[in-house]
Amino acid sequence: MRPLILILFLTSLLFGYEKGDMLSQEIQDRLGIKTEKIYVIDFFASWCNSCEKEIPYISQVHQKVDPAQVEIIGIDVDKKIENALAFQKELIAKEALTFRVINDPENEIIKEFKPIGMPALFYIQDKKVVEVIYGAVDDIDEVIMADLERLKR
Amino acid sequence: MMRTALIMISLFVLSGCSIKDVQPWEKETLANDRMQDNAGNTLFTKFENHIFFSKEGSKGGGGVAGGGCGCN
């Protein structure tokens, strides 16, 4: 029985967060996750063209939602911090990036989530992953708004 | 003893053939323009296409652009 539990534990380490998984305390602290809000975590990088296209739409969502209920957090996974900062500065200048961004040059955060593609969106409610979207999606702003409406109920 | 050692050595040697997956967040270099097919070699590609289209009589046949009217 013990080896089986050990194998199950080790395999769980191979996979990242999926729908229904509880976030680790360390990740909750790093992202500043609290229970009362729904969080949308967007993983992006300067070299990811699809991510760049989606960011302005996600910023639009950020401007529409009630900050007391929903928070959008961007995680920039660029390994070179100077690339990350230049990319964010450029987007902010174009008013295309309005939400809070955490830089993850060591990729410690994304290695916990282990998305199978980028861009990746994780919805967090009650410290649990409640929805995941991988890859570029058309009209992502409308998709997020619809998902948030569903989650608020 | 000898057999166990042989198995251990084989496993160790074979592990050298294993490939570590590139994770989605590690594709910075792969996403670079220089990593695309024929990148940095546009003149040569143009020349090659010129020969191909002349021989095949299929201008525009190498891509998806154009409606086949021969007007571009």
Stretches where chain B sits below pLDDT 50 are: none
Distance between CA atoms of B57 and B45, rounded to whole angstroms?
17
Q: Which residues of B touch A116 (CB under 8 A)?
A: 24
pLDDT at A14: 62
CB neighbourhood size of B16 (10 A): 6
Cβ–Cβ gap A78/B32 under 8 Å:
no
CB A70 within 8 A of CB A42: no
Q: Which H/E stretch holds residue B54?
A: helix B42-56
Tell me if residue B21 falls in helix, strand or coil.
coil
* Confidence check: pLDDT of A7 > 80: no
- Using alpha carbons only, what angle is made at residue B42 by residues B39 and B44, rounded to the nearest 5 degrees? 115
The per-residue DSSP string of chain A comes to -HHHHHHHHHHHHHS---TTPBPPHHHHHHHT--TTSEEEEEEE-TT-HHHHHHHHHHHHHHHHS-TTTEEEEEEE--SSHHHHHHHHHHHHHTT---SEEEE-TT-HHHHHH--SSSSEEEEEETTEEEEEEES--TTHHHHHHHHHHHHH-
Specify whether domain A16-152 bears CATH 3.40.30.10. yes
Name the residue facing B24 among A78, A79, A118 (closest C-beta). Answer: A118
DSSP B35: G
As for the ipTM of the complex, it is 0.79
pLDDT at A112: 94
Q: Residue A126 carries which side chain, given as an amino acid letter? A: D
CB B10 within 8 A of CB A103: no
* Confidence check: pLDDT of A134 > 90: yes
Tell me if chain A has a CB within 8 Å of the CB of B20: no
Cβ–Cβ gap A45/B28 under 8 Å:
yes
Tell me if chain A has a CB within 8 Å of the CB of B28: yes
What's the pLDDT band for A90 if we cut at 50, 70, 90?
Answer: very high
The number of C-alpha atoms within 13 Å of A133 and in the hemisphere containing its C-beta is: 20
* Each residue's pLDDT tens digit, A8-59: 555 555 678 988 899 999 999 999 998 779 999 999 999 999 999 999 999 9
Across residues A56-74, what is the average pLDDT? Answer: 94
pLDDT at B55: 86
DSSP B66: S
CA distance A100 to chain B (A): 20
Name the residue facing A77 among B25, B31, B32 (closest C-beta). Answer: B25
Q: What percent of chain A has pLDDT over 70?
A: 91
Distance between CA atoms of A76 and A140, rounded to whole angstroms?
18
Backbone angles phi, psi at A91, to 5 degrees: -70, -40
Distance between CA atoms of B25 and A48, rounded to whole angstroms?
9
Cβ–Cβ gap A45/B25 under 8 Å:
yes
Distance between CA atoms of A48 and A119, rounded to whole angstroms?
8
pLDDT at B57: 80
